[in-house]
Amino acid sequence: SLVSLRQLLDHAAEHGYGIPAFNVNNMEQVKAIMEAAAATDSPVILQASAGARKYAGEAFLRHLILAATEAYPQIPVCMHQDHGTSPSINVRAIQSGFSSVMMDGSLKEDGKTPSDWDYNVRVTRQVVDIAHACGVSVEGELGCLGSLETGTAGEEDGVGATGKLDHSQLLTDPNEAAEFVKQTQVDALAIAIGTSHGAYKFTRPPTGDVLAISRVKEIHARIPNTHLVMHGSSSVPQDWLKIINDNGGDLGETYGVPVEEIVEAIKHGVRKVNIDTDLRMASTGAIRKFFNDEPKKFDPRDYFKQTIKSMSGICKARYEAFGSAGNA
């Protein structure tokens, strides 16, 4: 059944676990996530970006997610708008039936230029007023996702700030977080701690100077009753990276957020953990390998089946590691 983000995260906080929020664009991703959730008895957050709605089309995306609730009636599912960059995108999502939205006012409406405090508070508060009147939850964001190694949003374009970011923008301030939550009344707060979107987060396995789990602890100590959200939380699995690179891909050497660091953050208030890149990598790795191994096959179901299997393996591992398994 469709539930709000607030319902899921309140339960997660009460029982001290985190829930991975996977991005979805197509049927295979939805199936992989739901199969894994059913196998581990985990609640589910399916999130769709504006780009996902553009790719699949509003009706297909909505029905894919509703199909998940119909096929798995025992699993609670939150249908979440990821990175709504304007109030109007979020209102459109609410109209479309989403049970949760993200007003990302950390960037201006172009999704690239860092915004100021007043803008962020104003648009977020506006969305909270509308969403709460409809029983829909709201995630806000304070601080800019980006690399403490390079001072940029990361190598991927599309999602995130362009240009140089300074240290104060890349690490959410605990006192400002408290004031932001008070002024906006968001249900969950995305914070910046050195992670970035995409496959190129860290040039070496991250240490505390570039992945500030300590900042999570400081923010949680200041606002213990606020559900924290980590974006850019793919772990960039080295086994899938190798399969991709061994089968004609060229992603080079790169590192993500180690699962054990996320588990540590979950002990300090992180309840929603956004993951997109890991499923993209598992999917691409499975297809590249299949094409290399099975040159005579051409039924798309044969290789899409492999992507469901590979993505589902990652989902299961995250449900178990984050502790949401057994809590559906």
Residue 201 interacting with ligand G3H (CB under 6 A): no
The verdict on whether 116 is a catalytic residue reads no
Residue 90 interacting with ligand 13P (CB under 6 A): no
What span, in angstroms and rounded, lies between the C-alpha atoms of 301 and 58? Answer: 24
Residue 232 interacting with ligand 13P (CB under 6 A): yes
* Residue 88 labelled as part of a binding site: no
Residue 80 interacting with ligand G3H (CB under 6 A): no
Q: Are 275 and 21 in contact (CB under 8 A)?
A: yes
Q: What is the 3-state secondary structure (H, E, C) of 109-175?
A: CCCCCECCHHHHHHHHHHHHHHHHHCCCEEEEEECCCCCCCCCCCCCCCCCCCCCCCCHHHHECCHH
What span, in angstroms and rounded, lies between the C-alpha atoms of 116 and 44? Answer: 33
Residue 277 interacting with ligand 13P (CB under 6 A): yes
Q: Which does 85 bind (CB under 5 to 8 A by kind): ligand 13P, ligand G3H, Na ion, none?
A: none
Active-site entry in 41, 82, 116, 246: 82
Tokens at residue 307, please? 């992507």
Site map for ligand G3H, 143-182, x if CB under 6 A?
Answer: ---------------xx-----------------------
Could you write out the DSSP letters of every residue in 179-237? HHHHHH--SEEEE-BS--SSS-SBSSS--TTTS-HHHHHHHHHH-TTSEEEE-S-----
Handedness of CA 215, 218, 219, 221 (dihedral sign): positive
Cα radius of gyration (the chain): 19
The residue range among 77-85, 143-151, 155-163, 302-310 that interacts with Na ion, by the rule CB under 5 A, is: 77-85
Residue 244 CA, chain-centre distance (Å), reads 22
Residue of the chain from 4, 23, 120, 284 that contacts ligand G3H (CB under 6 A) = 23
Site map for ligand 13P, 59-88, x if CB under 6 A?
Answer: -----------------------xx-----
Min CB(251)–Zn ion separation in Å: 20
Handedness of CA 282, 319, 177, 91 (dihedral sign): positive
The residue range among 78-86, 164-172, 207-215, 300-308 that interacts with Na ion, by the rule CB under 5 A, is: 78-86
Nearest to ligand G3H of 53, 215 (CB atom): 53
Place of tokens 């960039």: 236
Q: Which does 57 bind (CB under 5 to 8 A by kind): Zn ion, ligand G3H, ligand 13P, none?
A: none
Binding site for ligand 13P (CB under 6 A): 23, 82-83, 197-198, 231-234, 274-278
Sequence ranges of the binding site for dihydroxyacetone phosphate: 198, 232-234, 274-277
Binding site for Na ion (CB under 5 A): 82, 102
Binding site for ligand G3H (CB under 6 A): 23, 49, 51-52, 82-83, 158-159, 197, 276
Catalytic (active-site) positions: 82
